[in-house]
Every structure is written in structure tokens, then in C-alpha cells.
Structure 1
């Protein structure tokens, strides 16, 4: 019984080990000395244990791109997902990195490592069960060794490459070098091997080289270690010290080295312990041994003396006896054996001579023909029957197919059409002719194959009838390849013909030598009409192939490419825009022209350019184009002394048409006015629609009299014209302001403002007038004061002198609770005085600064709310006013949407408020902006609603949530029944459309009672409190529950 238990104890671990499946991943490639040494040591350690090793090589020394490593990760992820291993062995850093990335697939499988540079636990942070052989790459030991054997060394040179391994080795070396501040060292990591070899060849005397790693240069070129070290030591002007044993074979002097074989052996021993469950606590690490070794030829070269008892010398020449001792012993043994064998051979030779003739025939037949050939071979009888076939032919046909009792062409394995051909070919071969042909055969394993068969007669021998030799080669792959080439040629031809671009091959004279089908279809010519003609014959414009390009082509500059866009003419005479690319082809006598049809793109560009410069309604120039022309005119006036004139035209009472007949009628009226103005414009005049009912004209090289004359002509033309809409007649008139553009003119904004001022002066004079700008006009002075506010506004924005005020909004007919208020803005002057918006906002609106104020307000409100979360919680509605100008500013719109979207303040608590007039005047922009804001969760309020007669018509198109009834109706609602009826109508319509209403200018209790009677949702005005700083209003709302209940 004890014997049985002992056997079980010895056998069970060995059986378990025999079943072990171990994956070995080497970071580098097979053939690299370090990697091969580790593999050899590993195999030696587990050879007796029957461990099955699956060995893979990453080859990451020669291929180090991130893409390559990512592909390896995907490959091994699939491998580890489909196959289980009892352990995974990795050598060097890249393999450890790979399995660390695959920690999910590795799971609890033990991972053992060796050859790791500067070991750190972080390198296997994702793995749970790790162990291995640690490599102690101690630079200090090599430095001490150098100082011992070469005390006169003054300069140390450390060499590493640009790989991750090189960088880690250098970082480790720096840590050791920091302990030797007295050392004078230089770090070498050149870009290429040539640079490295040149650098080491120029080292000064008393130097030493410490080679860490340089197998891949900065250009990604890999050099085998032996070749590298041999070249390095041959060119170096100083001895080379290394840390690895295999590098000594290349000519290095020596060093404190570790051997890959030792690390592999220790890794295999550790593997056996892990598989036998000898180690259950992880991590498990062993330290690799290091030994002082020197290369004897290198010692002789550099005349270095070492203590042979304390170091191991390699490549040391042996004495003659030591060198040939084994051969001498072997020779003696062989000599004794040979004497015995000679005696035995004398007896055997006598017997062998008797069968020498028969053996010669057999050897000739079987060794020379059959079993040594990869071809299909058969020996045939003169009647066609098979006498012998080699194994290759038997495997091809199958033993059941081969028949010895009938001619081979009757075996039934040939294609139907081949039987007669085989028979005739055999008969021809019997007449001492070599016959060769191809035919198909049905293989027992691979289906139909194509064979290249030759039949020829064999030389006659004594006693043997005339036999024939059949040889066949499998050419199926060649046939398939030829078929694929034919198909590919057809495919390429179809691809060439059907490519959706023009493809032309032209010679150095520009004549077309080939053309694809797409080119003929696009241009409407046949191939015959295009071939032989110059490609320039099909250009619409006078263009040519640049001579310098043809010269470069003749000089074989394959990188020369010419690109341009030009027009071709089609057979129908239509212009076709082509983006043309010309470059050299593989032929030295041809150029390849590729043309892409960009007609639709050019048409779209022209359309977009037209739309960018023209008003969509009237087709006149737009504001942007006009302002650019105004800048040009001002530059000419300043630089050349030219005199121009600007006419600013504003239609009188145009709002009557919009309010009476609707905006569609207003649009038609604007088109008619544009048509009338265009008809009387001078040749060099620039006529533009600035927006709404405003037009502007620049008269080039014009004096005062000419400007006044054109202005009077315009007034007369409009006065004599009438506009009819649905049987309603409307009269047309305008007010015109004129500003001369001369050396007195300032900036474009000033000229525009001064012309605008003159226009308003004309309106004040009774409309249908023109007014010439003069510096001493009182109206001008007022406008200039307004412009002064522009500068104040800009400085206030720069110095952040705008302050947030707020006014409470009170819920009336709704049960809404929480804080409701509207954000207002005040500007503090430089001396500390507070300026109300009524003084600076008109200037901001007129001079395009309103969007900057709105940007400031939106950002300031969100910043304040984000900094006061206690104010956000009770907040129900925070209303922020936006100007119509801001709504049309793309930069502001992007800022607004981004700022609200990124803010921590809930968008549902924000309400963006814009006047009805601004919304209707920019209807499409308003609808788009309101829709995007509502998409974020914001509420939309329409301010000053009811001011226009067409308000109700536009309301159903605007996606708004609240309607602010214009204060001019609310102010007198307690006394004026007409205003009361108007407010009631607006409120009723809003309720039917699902919108809430807010009444402005609620200044007393009587107005409040009337609003409650109508069911208005919210009220705002002095009845509930005057505007005050935002922080103070929120504080008062928090401290006064009574007020909050009212509000």
C-alpha cells in the first residue's frame, strides 16, 4: 500500500504537468540571439516534464508602430478568448505590455516574465497572478569594473536607441549615475546607425563606451545584434562594455553580464514550480545571476589585463591538445572499430557482388524516378496499362481509381473530352516521340485539377519491353491565376471606362492617345472624335498645357503635378467646368490627365457669391456689399482726393402698407421701388437695400449738384408712381439724406450715420424731402452726442461698468410660485453716475453695439446665478431682453446657445425676450433662433406685442411661450375702453393659442384689477416695485414672504 501511495505522489504531478498548455510570447523575433538564448534555456528546463509550449514571436524590435501593436492586441484577444492556457510566459517588456492589456482575457492564469528592463509593478498592474525572473541591470557594477581594469578612463559614453526599451534603460542609468557625480559622461542616441558609427570612431583617448541598447535607429531601421556589435567595435576608438552575454560574441570587451540562457532556464524552473502548485502566493520573483565576463580577443586588442581567477574569459584560444583532444580520442576509437569492420566487410562484399546487377537496376528505377520526386510519375506498359506509380500519383487519384487491368485513359477519372486525347498522345509516344499536353483530372481529395502531362519512351534494358514514362505537374494554381488576371484586366478596363472622372492619356505634344467612356458621355463626343486631337481643342478658353510641366515630364520628374480649373466645351456648345490634374504616367511618353466635373460646384459658388452680395428680396446689393464699397470710396477720397456722394433713402410711411395689406404686399412694394430705382441709376452708381425699407446709393466721382439732382429725380419718380395691391392703391414717397464723401469724411460708420441723420432731418421737414448733410446742423450735433455714447458704451464694456438690475413680475391668473423677474441693464459712467438705458440703448441699436451689450448681460446673469445656487432654487422665471440686432448676429447666436447649453443653470428657468417689431422684421431668423432655444428648454417671450396691426397674423408663426402686451395699451386700460378691448383681444387670442400673457406698465391698483378681470397671467410695473440691483431684488424676495405671495 505504501508503494502505491508513493507511486501516486510521483506520477500525479507529472501527469498534471504533461497536460499543461503553456503560451510563450517573445517580444522580439526568432533569430535574435537574446530571444533564442532565453527560448533554449526554457526548453532545457522543461524538456523532461513534457510541457507543451506554444511559442509566438511579436517581432516588436523590427516593427514598433502603434498600429502594429494594436493589431497584436486584437489578434491575441481572439486567441485567448478561444483557447485556455495553464500559464503564460513573456520575455521582455513588449510582451508583458501585451498581456497586461489583455488582463480580462488572461484572468487568473499565472503570468511569468523574464528580461524586463527596470522592473516596476505598474507594468503588470492589471494582472493578478504574476512572477518571473528579474533582471538586475546595474550600471554601477559596470562602472566599477571599468574603473578597476581601466583606471585611466576619463570620459564615459552611454549608447541607447529611441525605442521605449532604450529610453527606460537610459532613465535607469541616470538614476545610477546620479550616485557618481564625479563621473564625466556623454549620452549618445544618434538618428541613424551611420551617425552612431561615426560618433564612436571619433572618441578621444581615455574613453569607455557603455552599450545599453541600439538595435533600431531613429529612422526605424533594424540591425541584427551580431552585425551591429561587430561594426560598432570595429569602428569604435574605445573599448565597449555591455550587460548581456550574447553581445560579447560581436566583439565587446566585457562587463557584468547576464545570459539569456540562464534567465530562460530559471523561468522554466519557476514554471514547473507554479504548475506543481509549489507557489500559491503571488507575485513570485527570482533574481537572475550576473557574472563578470571578458572577450579575450578584445582584451588583446585594447591591451587590458584582468584577473582570470575572478572573471570568465570567452573566445580564449586553446592549446593544440585541448583543442583537438576529442578528435584524437574519437580517431583512436574509430580506427579500432574500422579494423573490425574491414574484416567483416571482406566477408560481406563477396555476398554483395552476386546481387550487384539486380540492385543496380532496382536503385536506378526506384531512387531515380519514383520516391524522390514531387511530380506525379507512372511507368506504363506498351499497351497503356500501369506498371508502377509513385506515391504522389496514388495520393492524387486514390488507390480505388487506379486499375492495373486496363489502359490508363480508361480509368474514368479524366474529363470526358480528355480520353481520346490521352490515347492519341500515348500512341504518339510509343513512336519514340515526346508528347506534352494539358488536361483535367478529378482528384479524390481536391476535385478537378489541371495537369501538365508529358509521355516519353524509356531506354530499353535487357529483358524489359519498351516502357513509357508519364510525368505530370499540377498547374491548377497557374490556371486559376491566369483566369484571375484575365478577369482583373476586364475589371480594370471597366473601372477605367466607368470612372466618374475624365481619364485621358496624352503625349508630350498634348494629343489624346486614350479616353474613357465617362469623358465621351460628359462632353458629348465619340472616342473617334477625340483621339488624336489636342486636349486644348476641347478647352472653351485660350488655355494650354504649361511648357515647364512638359519639360519636367521629359526630365522624368515623376513627382511633378499640375492642377487647375478651367472650362471645357461640349459637343452641344455647353461649357463644362473641369478640375484638371496632370501628372506623369508609368510610360515615359505619356501624361495622365484626370478631370473632375465641378460644373455644379462652380454654379453653386457663383450662386452663393451672388447671395452673399445681394438682397434676396429685391436682388439689389445688400448691406455687406454696400459697406465694402463705402470703404473703397472713402479710401479713394483720402488717398486720391476723389469726391463721391452717399444717398440714404428711407421710404415714408412704409409701415402703413405692412399694417394695412400685410407683409406680402410690403415685399412687393419694395420690389417695385427697387425696380424703379434701378431704372434711373447712373452707370457707376452702387444701389443697395440696407434692410427693411432702407436703401442707399453711392455715386462715384460726383459733386453736390449731381447728388442733389439724382435725389430730386428719385423723389419725383416715387411721387409719380403708385403701388396697387388687391384693388388698393398706395402712394410711394421717400426721405433722402445726402453725405458727400470727400476729405472731410471720417469712418464708414460716421458717413453712414451722417447720411442717416440727414435722412431723419428730411423726414422731420415733412417727408418726401431730401436733406444735404452740413456740419453745423443741430440734428447732426444731436447725432454726434449719440455717437459719443458709442464710445462710452465701448469703454464701459471694456471696464465692465454695466450693472445688472431686475424688476419683479407678479403672477395674477396663475398658481405659479417662486421668483419671477426681468433683467434690466444700467451703465455707470466713469465718474460713478448711473446712466439709464433710455440714453445709451438707442445709440447701441443704431451703431450695432447692442449685441455686445446682450452678450455681456447673458454672461453676467448666468455667472451670477451659477455663483448663487441659493437664488436658482426658488427661481421660476428669469427674463433676459435681446435686441433684434443680436438675433441676426451669427456669432452672438452661437455664443448664446453654447453658453446656455454649458451652464449649470436649468434652461427651463430662463426666458429670452425680444420685441415684436424685431421678431417680425427678422421673421426667418427669429423662428430659427426661437426653435433652437426652445430645444434647449428655454422659454420665449414676445415684448411690446400689439404695436403693429399685423401682430395677430404673425403670432401663429412664431414659437413663443409668453406675450408681453405693449404698455401703451395697458397704461390707460382703467379709463380707455378701446385699450381695454385691445388688451382683452390680445389676451383671449394668446390663451386660444396656448400662450401666457404679461402686462407691462402696471402702475396702480385700478389697472391691476382690470387685468385680473381679463385673466392676464402676469403683471409688471411700479405697482409691484421699481427696478433695483439684481442681488438686492433676490434678497428682498427671499426675506419677504408676503411679497413673494403677491408676486
Structure 2
């Protein structure tokens, strides 16, 4: 089978010539034969150039290595049929290949499951392959899934079969992993089919082997490697070497796949049920079907029936011609046009009494009823009376009563011991030529996969992926439900903003992974300190929000004190270092007269006040505390933005956005970021001054400076020319009509090509001002400007809004990327986002790509671009600052 695989792989390759030699080392293991074989090869191929030497089992590989000095010493080797992955083989120089690496443990487990026996007799031999296989059997002794008693015999001869088998319990299954030996042939190995025949003469239980040649020779089943596929894999490595790929870059393939092939008649004989047969499998010698037994009679009946149908059809054509025939053709045309267009699993029609007069498709799969058993029955009754179906009966009846179309009725089917299926029913009323209602025509579609994808995306959009808490958007929705009304303005709940103290120290000294672990543990502490009905959310970073349901302020304050004490006593240990943290809380009563945004702002300011007063405490305020809003909470170094701009304390940096797929015509792409240098030369991180400027309404000045500075210096910053630059715009700036008009004027008056400009808008800003953003994008796109939706996946359920935002790029939030190599959930979410973005014609950019492992995963998913420290840190746009 290996030879067939190699021949198939090179069948169409006219430039490659295959030369085969059969060593037969197992039948003739003596040294004399090996010497003769070497002399034969040296003479035959003395003048034949060989590019690759293919070796097909352990014995042959050992022989080639032993004679490497004289036989093709410089020719690369591709081995196949190697039974075990060993360091010695992997270390062979100028060699690569494919291992069989058979999983005999699973074969043994399968035999136990099929035979229901706790005994197993294993027959092996002392060849290299046999020894390797025997060692795998030794490894599973006492394994809980293995038979209790495993008996291993090596080098069994024909004369000793009867005495050996009779010494073990009756009906003991036999697993043959080696061949019988023939003393008459210098202890050479007998063939697999002869080995099986001889064992079957004495065995009282089923015989299983690892060679398909034993089937129909007494073996009940064979769990064998697919030799053709194995050779096809090796052929790929050969082709790489023939195409001058360095052999060090052609890595060995370590894993092999086996498939069970079983004799159906012997399965019956040994009472092995089909449900116990492992998958995948192939059955041979199955009982002949009715058609196979009576093939001639079937064809006679079909012929007679066909002739009868032809006669009937001719008579019908004569009798029914004209209008009746045309009417039937029109009905069938409409029926199949409607049904084929829908691409459904089930097609159906009902009459005026809701009884099925036509049905086709997978009725057995979804309803456990064949089509003929459903005809004449009420479709609604079938749905109502099936205990496995949850059907919207009222919606169905209401539509039928008024002859309305049945639009997207979703229902569930949960068969016993099977996965839940989500189905959708669609139908339209049908009318005769005289406009009389004649029934419904419709389809049923399986939408299980689409529904699951929707649920995954909805969960990811509503909850924080790290802690499992509600995210900002979901919390805001719940907070609105807690707002008192004018008629019921009593205070029954309190809003708190919680912020960890000294958390940045952990991130800076131990890294984000350790910081994330600490956040999860702190979340648990907070959850243990609050009551069941309270609401907790993570808003981002180390910031949390909490709604406490309490009848009075002291009660709510007590809950806050419990949280503060729990976090204060908490110690986080990492790498023999102990970190402690604290928590500051700002609390405001949820009272009538304030909306959710105002309450969050008050609680946020109160939290800052708690930190200002010494941290590790709760600061309580309400809407009447005007002094709080007059506190100088702005960060001092951005108090006068105009002065900072005049002093040239701001400067621009750029970070590469790297395409993951090679394209020689690809345009260079950078994101433009801002940095702030204090008067003493200290660099202030953006996450300190940007939130402060947004909170104090100063971000618009910064956005204007960034855009005008970049457009003015574009050609100095990017002398190579055609470079796409991405610029961040805040939601506050987008809501400023004057800023938008000035921005349009800046772009129009600039000599920078509009197609080289891309504005990035965060998903939160886009959703909160969807109509303004749509208008802004439409205006800018008329100029040729591109758009990117930033921080996608960080919070709000934005897929619905995404359809209405014609962005060119979708930037996936770094919170979904940084842990993707360890989180299958993050991988699946990113796959979903990427697939939907591509479906909508957008290209995807992944943030926070910090290492090669993350990059490789994103490449396999199909992400278009990546941004992060893997490709470079932000560097100044102005060349003069690179050395300054």
C-alpha cells in the first residue's frame, strides 16, 4: 500500500522517476542476504543519479544507516513506516520522514469494548517492529481501560499454537501485533494471512490484527494504518526536497491514523454488537441486501412498471392535455422554485385543514417519522404532540387564522440522548387561480450552528472575558432599571465605583498575566462580600462598578467596608514575592432626578476623592454635594492644553500595522499615537492624560492638534510616500459639529492623498452616537477617507450596529488577543469576529500581538493585519526625535 501511495503521489509528475527495490528483510534476516543485497544495489545504481532515498520501515532504515558510508552517503533520506518516535531517529543527519507511531493502547481498549472480555492474548514477534509494538503493550498494563489480564507471547510457531491457546480461558480475544515464525526458514516471519489462518484453527474467541491482509483469513477485525495516505504524506516531504528545500526545514511528521476494518459475519459469530464498534470503521462481508439477492426480479419489475408508467403517461397526455397539463406544470414550477430558493432541510405543503399533502427532506432526522407517516396529518398537531419539540403554537395559529405568511418561526427539537437542534419554519399562503385559499407551502431549516454562533457572540459582547462579570454596556442596561420614578422616588439601592489601589505595581513588576490572575482573585473576594441580589461589573482595567440593594445608607456602607477589609487582608503571592493591594470606593445613592450617566460620573468622582483622601476607604456623596464637583481633580500637567501645545510638550509616534500575508504591492500602514512630555522631561503615559482630557472636555483640542500636525508634516514623517496612517478620534470630538466641519476643511486643504488617511473610532463611541457617526463616515468617504472600528469586542453587543457602520477595517480589542494562545474561548470569539468582518467586506487588525505564538494563531484564523510589540514598539514620527 505504501508503494501505491508513492505511485499515486507522483502519477502526474513527469519530471520525477521512481525506482523501487524490495529488500524483504523480515523473511530473510540473515547477514548473508543483506551483504548480497548491498552488492546488488551498489552495482545497479553505480551510474544512476539519485536525488532522494526513500526507506519504508525500521529494518530498512537501520540497514541503510549501517551502510551509509558506502551507499548514497550524501543523498537525503525520507523514511516512512517507522513504528516509534525515538530521539535517535529524530537525530539522524540528512534525514526526515513520517512515523507510523501506532496507538496500540487505543486498539486494546477498542477490543475490550467490543468483546466485553477482561482477558486478552497478544501475539508478537522479536523483530524490531514486533519489539516496538510489544513495548507499547507493556505500557498499558494495569491501565483502567485495559483488560485485567493481558498475556503477551513472542515468536509463536505453528506447532505450539494449540498448546498455547488452550492454556488460556475460553473465548479469550487474540490481538496479533506480530507474525508467527517459521523454523524451517531460519525463523523467518510467516505472512499475515497465514498467521491469521493458523491461529483461527485453534482460537475460540475473536482474532484482531493490525494488518488488513489478515481479513477473510480468520481475523474478525484489523486496526491498520492507511498505507496509501501514509505514503502520500511522505511524498510531500520528497517533493519539498526535490524543489531544493533544505532538509533541516523539512520537519518529520510524527502522528499516524488507524482505521478499523471488520468482518460482519465474524462479528455476528462472536456476538459483537455494532454499537460497540469503534468509529471510524469499515465493514466487509455484510449480509446481502434485498436488491442484491433479487436483482434480476427487481429489474424485471422495474422494467414492467416503467412500461406501465409510459403507457399511463401516454394516456394521461391524451386525456389531460391542454389546460390541465399547463396548470400542473405551473403549480410544480412555483413549488420547486420556492423550495429550491430557500435551501431548506424539509419542504412541505398543507391543505385548507392544515393537513400535510406534500413533504420531503430529513423528516426522520428531526421528527423520527418517515414522510409517508406524516402525510394526511395536521402539521400543528405533529408539533404540539411531539414531547421533544418546543413550538410557538400561538404564533402559528394566529398567522393561519388571518392567512398571513409564517415568517421565521423558531422552534427547538431535543431528541433523547442527542444534541439540541434549533429549527426555523418559513411559509407563505398559496391560492388557486380563482383566488381561493388552498393551504400553505413552506420549509424547515436547521439553523443550529447560526444560533450557537449568535449566542457565543452575544455572551462575549455582554460579559467580561477575564472575570465573567458583566461588562460596562450590560451594567449600564441594568443600572437604568434601578432608576427610581417620580411616583416611586425612595432610595432602595446605591451605586459604587471601585478602583484597586497599587494594582499598576503588579502589572509593571510581574506582567499582565499575573495581574489578570490577581484581578480574578479580587473579583472572587468582592463577590463573597456582597449580597445575592447585588450587581457587580468590571468596567475595564482594575475598575469595577457595583449596585447594592439596601434599604438604608448604613447597610450599604457596611457592605463597602466588608469589601475594603477583604481586599486589605488579601495577599497575592507570585514567584516568592507577596503583593498586597487595597480598594477605594465612591458611593452615591440611586435617587430620582439623575440618569445613569450622571450617577456613574458622580460615583467615579467620589472614587477619585476616596483615593485622594488616602485610599482604602469609601467616599459617599449625593447629587446635593456641589463641593465635590468643584474639586480640582484634573491632572495638573494637562490643565492648560493650549500652553502644553505651545511648549511643544506633545509629539507624535507611529506603530507599524503589519500584514500577515505577503503582498509585494501592500501599502505601508501605521497607527499614529500621541505622547506627552512634562516640563521636567518625564514621559507621561497616555492612559493617564487621555482619560483626564476626555473627562474635562479637552480631548477635542488634542484631536485637532494630532490631525493638523500629521497632515502638515506627513511627507517629512513618511518620505517613502504612499503610506496609510490611522488616526484616533474620540467620541467627544465626533459629537462636536464645529470640530467635524474644521476636520473636513483640514483634509480638503491638505496635500496628503485622502486614500492615505484612516480614522479610528472606538466601538463605544460609534454605538453611543450611531447616527452622528454614520453621517460623519458618509461625508468623509466621499473624500476617499478610510475608517477603522477600534477596540472591537471590548464590551457592547455591536454586531447589530456593525451592519450600519461602513468601516474598512475592524480592530479586534487586545483583551481578546493577549491570552489567545491559552484560551480556546478567545480563539473561537476571534474566529467569529474575523468571519463576520470578512463577510461584511472589512479587513481585520489584531492588537496586542506580543509574540510569535500569537502571530501564528492569528495567521491560521485568517486575520489580515497585526499590531504589537512582536512587530515593533511605537517610535517618534519626527526623525529628529529618534536620537534626541
TM-score (norm 1): 0.33
Bigger CA radius of gyration: 1
Larger RCO, structure (CA 8 Å, separation 6 or more): 2
Scaled by the length of structure 2, what TM-score is found?
0.39
Structure 1 or 2: larger helix share? 1
